[in-house]
Amino acid sequence: MVKTDEGYMTICHRLAEGEYGRKVYLNHMVKYDHHLKPVEISKPFKLTDDNIEFITYMAVDGENIVIGDTLMDERPEILTFDRDTIENAIW
């Protein structure tokens, strides 16, 4: 969970059934107010591809959101997104 000007933000994973009954993890960004009450949840999204991915890190760096993820049997990677771009894409 990271602190933002509006409150807090975190990413949650949800296991869902994809094409042909294959299990996939979807991500949701969750916004909380300053009292940790959930106020908004994003549309489901994936950062990379259809493999199972795990988000392992998240930080707010100025106007950027930095997210670490790793795919099954792959090396972890750090992705940096402009905060407005990612928020407009998933909300």
pLDDT digits (tens, 9 = 90+) for 20-30: 888 777 889 99
User: Does the pLDDT at position 83 exceed 80?
Assistant: no
Per-residue pLDDT at 60: 85
Backbone dihedral angles phi then psi of residue 52, each to the nearest 5 degrees: -70, 125
- Give the DSSP letter string of 8-51: EEEEEEEEEE-GGG-EEEEEEEEEE-TTS-EEEEPPPB-SS-SS
Cα–Cα distance, 39 to 53 (Å, whole number): 25
- Residues in contact with 83: Cβ distance below 8 Å, sequence separation at least 6, in sequence order: 60, 63, 64, 65
pLDDT digits (tens, 9 = 90+) for 48-72: 766 667 788 888 888 888 988 887 7
